[in-house]
Amino acid sequence: MPSPIAHSLMGYIIYRVTTSPFKGQNRYIILLYLFIANIPDLDFVPGLFVGSLGRYHHGMSHSIVFSLIFAFGCYIISGILRPENIKRCVATGFCLYFSHIVLDYLTKSPSNPYGDPVGVQFFWPFSNEYYIAPFAFFQIIHFGDSIGDFLLSIFSLHNLMAMSIEFIILSSIIITMELWKCRRV
């Protein structure tokens, strides 16, 4: 998986694409976007209860069907709170959730001693196969059944380099987008 930094930067890109350049930035809405862009990785939580953090990681929560279920959740919530914005909320919710899966698809997930799955289960429940892009270029290594082992595996020189690459690629997109928006304004 890419780091939460990459998912958050992608959430910010979607925020800037879907908001008017004439409006000020709302930090609470930005935080909500960043959170949604990271939601699929909450699939680590059930693993806590079975003593294997990666057991359910990159499974059903990283599928097109789950993205649609999330969009449906946005439809229900928006229908109650902001019915006038329902189409926008559903489309944005889907894009934010699905962006996570696309980034994970673009990430090399080398096999690790704990046998965590590689790739994402794009077509769950129709197929249990894991898919990964042949040209995947992001790469964060993480493994470990316990939180301690997991955190230790995250803090490595390799991952520092990988996060720097994520940051350079995604922040370049943000800077280009901002410059383009400024020119339009």
Where do contacts with Zn ion occur on this chain (CB under 5 A)? 1, 40-41, 104
Question: Could you tell me the two tokens for 174?
Answer: 């943000």
CA-based angle 69:95:23, to the nearest 5? 125
Which of 92/142 has CB closer to Zn ion? 142
Helices (H) and strands (E) in the chain, counts: 7, 0
Which residue's CB is nearer to Zn ion, number 21 or number 115?
A: 115
- Are residues 100 and 37 in contact, defined by beta-carbon separation less than 8 angstroms? yes
Task: Kindly state the smallest distance separating residue 13's Cβ from Zn ion, in Å.
Answer: 17
Q: In this complex, which beta carbon is closest to Zn ion, that of residue 78 or of residue 124? A: 124
Rounded Cα distance between 143 and 148, Å, is 10
Nearer to Zn ion, 78 or 99 (CB): 99
Token pair for residue 142? 């993480």
At 115, list the tokens.
Answer: 């046998």
Measured from the CB of residue 19, what is the shortest distance to Zn ion in angstroms? 25
Please say which residue, 40 or 54, places its beta carbon nearer to Zn ion.
40
Rounded least distance, CB 36 to Zn ion, Å: 13
Of 125, 107, 126, the closest CA to residue 117 belongs to 107
For residue 107, what is the DSSP state? B
* Inter-CA distances, 129 with 45, 58, 124, 165, Å: 22, 11, 8, 28
Q: What is the nearest approach in angstroms of Zn ion to the Cβ of residue 88?
A: 25
Q: How far is the CB of 117 from Zn ion (least distance, A)?
A: 11
